[in-house]
Amino acid sequence: MPTGRQLVAYSTLAFFCLFFLSSGLTSPDDLWQRLTTTRTPDFSRYTPPQTLSDTQFPIHDPHKRVIILGDVHGMDKPFHALLAKLSYDPSSDVLMHVGDIVAKGPHEGSMAVLSYMAAHNVTGVRGNHDQMVIEWRSWLDWIAGLDGGAHWLRELHADLAAAGPEDPEAWAQKHLKHGHRRKWGRRIPDGWKILSDHYRVAHAMSAVEYRYLLSLPLVLHVPAAHAFIAHGGILPSDPRYKPYHRRQPLARVPALPKSAKHNKADPGKQLSLLRRLQEAAVLAHVPQNRDPWVTLNIRGVLDDNSVTRTKDGEPWADIWNRDVSSCVGFEAHLHLHRTERSTPALPCYPATVVYGHAAARGLDVKRWSVGLDSGCVYNRHLSALVLDSKLQKSPFEADAVELDVEARKKITIPFGEGSGRVVTVSCKD
Ligand SMILES: *[C@@H]1O[C@H](CO)[C@@H](O)[C@H](O)[C@H]1NC(C)=O
């Protein structure tokens, strides 16, 4: 007969064997990890880049317009004023946005803009503020699913309503320091401010509105216009290497997939496929563009080649314009002599980036980039880029540019191989 001690030893061993088997773990290190970390889910819920078809971005359809809005930030009145000024007609206009549709502006405005965007399933990208709202909602859903979590949340909101503090964020900091609330307060990730603007939108929005925000990808690729839409921006090349280094997507002609090779009869089709592949490679193979933080927040690149969201460093749009201005095309590059290839001539075609996020720079139109955040939430302007097939056919005439938004409120700008227009409204009360 085994002694009591042996029994304890056997059963302990059996328990751990079962634990290992049931949890599928192989080493004590894994077990230790599992027992010591409180697992929190990934709240970010990113949606990877998506590609728009020619019908989703009908830039060559003579009966349609594409309208891309700058950062709205819940400024509901200017948003509708701009739609009115454009004589927006949903049956012929495709409305889009560059992200940051909510937060920073008035709460009711954020809810109204979000409701409109979700109800009309407006195509767009996610902004860094939309992202914070998503993360809070995903956190709220997680908390509500924990034992006692839903009860705690209801209590928090009841206490908030009773206290009616001037500054809910500061109130929450103090409120969560006491008693059983401390335990829940510790579930809030570091640096997050409960009851903030973003939290309140996250808490108030409907399931449909949440699903809409989740559907917004980090970047949109528009082969029909040779364009990208990203909230912060994207880089044309990995800044750690020269733009003509062979690892850079714009420095090498992409390989045609086998299925397309027999299609030699149509060089036009083949060229547009190659361009599309090369543009997709900029998103997929420049490592910074695969980092969601970068596409949501980038403003510049520092001397050490790291990406920054501050005003320091070289603006990423300058880097973009410099690199793509060196594109000479596949054919022309092939015919350059080897020695000439060391000069910055790249086997590529220029593409345009439409973005928001940089209110400090205001409306920022460059040859191959259009920054649309003209600071509406700071009582400046709300801007939209308008593209139609007529303007696409007319190449941009340099004399026409007039960036004095105040003076004209409607300007013609270069866009891709043709032109576009920027239309703005004032956001002053
Ligand atoms: C919204 O539009 C996208 C395409 O832009 C589509 O894939 C999606 O199914 C639509 N969602 C709803 C709820 O209609």
Per-residue pLDDT tens for 314-369? 999 999 999 999 999 998 888 776 655 556 799 999 999 999 999 999 999 999 99
Euclidean distance between CA atoms 123 and 216, whole angstroms: 8
pLDDT per residue over 59-118, tens digit each? 999 999 999 999 999 999 999 999 999 999 999 999 999 999 999 999 999 999 999 999
Give the per-residue pLDDT at 35.
47
Give the per-residue pLDDT at 203.
98
* Ligand 1 pocket, residue 124 CB under 6 Å: no
Which strand ranges, in their side-by-side order, compose the sheet holding 219-222? 50-51, 219-222, 227-230, 352-355, 369-371, 364-366
* Ligand 1 pocket, residue 121 CB under 6 Å: yes
First-to-last C-alpha distance (Å) of the chain: 89
Residue given tokens 């090779």 in the structure block: 261
Closest CA to 49 of 273, 236, 283: 283
Give the per-residue pLDDT at 402.
47
The residue whose CA is least distant from atom 5 of ligand 1 is: 123
Euclidean distance between CA atoms 289 and 422, whole angstroms: 27
Give the per-residue pLDDT at 397.
56
Give the per-residue pLDDT at 260.
72
* Ligand 1 pocket, residue 123 CB under 6 Å: yes
What single string gives the DSSP state of each residue in 261-301? HGGGG-HHHHHHHHHHHHHHHHHHHSGGGG-HHHHHH--EE
The residue whose CA is least distant from atom 12 of ligand 1 is: 121
Atom in ligand 1 nearest the alpha carbon of residue 211: 13
Structure tokens at 307: 């990406």
Report the mean per-residue pLDDT for the chain.
88
- With the most atoms of ligand 1 within 8 angstroms of its CB, the residue from 215, 220, 221 to mutate is 215
Distance between Cα 216 and ligand 1 center (Å): 10
Euclidean distance between CA atoms 372 and 385, whole angstroms: 8
Q: Which of 167-171, 322-326, 405-409 has the lowest mean pLDDT?
A: 405-409
* Ligand 1 pocket, residue 278 CB under 6 Å: no
What number is the average pLDDT over the span 399-404?
47
Structure tokens at 248: 């850079």
What are the start-end ranges of the E strands in 173-235?
219-222, 227-230
Structure tokens at 89: 């007609």
Distance between Cα 55 and ligand 1 center (Å): 14
What separation in angstroms does the CA of 238 have from each of 218, 244, 249, 319, 320? 19, 10, 9, 11, 11
Q: Who has greater pLDDT, 292 or 26?
A: 292
Closest CA to 102 of 230, 190, 228, 199: 199
What separation in angstroms does the CA of 242 have from each of 248, 250, 407? 8, 11, 41
Give the per-residue pLDDT at 21.
45
The residue whose CA is least distant from atom 9 of ligand 1 is: 121
Give the per-residue pLDDT at 332.
84
Atom in ligand 1 nearest the alpha carbon of residue 121: 1
Distance between Cα 389 and ligand 1 center (Å): 24
Q: Residue 158: exposed, middle, or buried by beta-carbon count in 10 A (0-12, 13-18, 19+)?
A: exposed
Distance between Cα 120 and ligand 1 center (Å): 9
The residue whose CA is least distant from atom 10 of ligand 1 is: 121
* Ligand 1 pocket, residue 33 CB under 6 Å: no
* Residue 323 identity (one-letter amino acid): D
The residue whose CA is least distant from atom 8 of ligand 1 is: 121
Q: Who has greater pLDDT, 182 or 23?
A: 182
Domains of the chain: 10-44+131-191 (no CATH), 50-127+216-429 (3.60.21.10)
| pLDDT band at 251; cut points 50, 70, 90 | very high
Could you count the other beta carbons within 10 Å of the beta carbon of residue 185? 17
| Residue 66 Cα to chain centre, angstroms | 19
Per the CB < 8 A criterion, the answer to whether 412 and 114 are in contact is: no
Distance between Cα 97 and ligand 1 center (Å): 15
Distance between Cα 45 and ligand 1 center (Å): 18
Distance between Cα 212 and ligand 1 center (Å): 9
Per the CB < 8 A criterion, the answer to whether 284 and 290 are in contact is: yes
The residue whose CA is least distant from atom 4 of ligand 1 is: 123
Q: Residue 126: exposed, middle, or buried by beta-carbon count in 10 A (0-12, 13-18, 19+)?
A: buried
What number is the average pLDDT over the span 215-235?
98
Per the CB < 8 A criterion, the answer to whether 382 and 79 are in contact is: yes
